[in-house]
Amino acid sequence: MTLRWIRQCVYGFGLILLMVSPTLAHHSFAAEYDANKPVTLKGVIAKVEWTNPHIRFYIDVKGPGGSARWEISGPSVNALVRNGGKRESLKISETVTVEGFLARNVKNLANMKIVKSQDGKILLDRIGDQQ
Q: What is the pLDDT of residues 31-87, one digit of tens each?
A: 899 999 999 999 999 999 999 888 999 999 998 889 999 999 999 898 888 888 888
Q: Quick check: is 13 in a domain?
A: no
The overall average pLDDT reported for the chain is 86
Q: Quick check: is 58 in a domain?
A: yes
Q: Give the rounded percent of residues in the chain with a pLDDT score beyond 70.
A: 83
Instruction: Report the pLDDT value the prediction gives residue 129, as an integer from 0 to 100.
Output: 47
Report how far residue 44's alpha carbon sits from residue 2's, in angstroms, rounded to the nearest whole number: 65
Q: Quick check: is 104 in a domain?
A: yes
Query: Could you tell me the CATH number of the domain that includes residue 109?
Result: 2.40.50.140
Q: Quick check: is 14 in a domain?
A: no
Q: Quick check: is 131 in a domain?
A: no
Domain hosting 35: range is 29-125
Report how far residue 15's alpha carbon sits from residue 108's, in angstroms, rounded to the nearest whole number: 39
Q: Quick check: is 68 in a domain?
A: yes
Q: Roughly how many angstroms between the first and final C-alpha of the chain, as a whole number?
A: 50
Report how far residue 118's alpha carbon sits from residue 43's, in angstroms, rounded to the nearest whole number: 10
Phi, psi of 20 (to 5 degrees): -85, -35
Domain count of the fold of the chain: 1
Q: Quick check: is 56 in a domain?
A: yes
Q: Quick check: is 71 in a domain?
A: yes
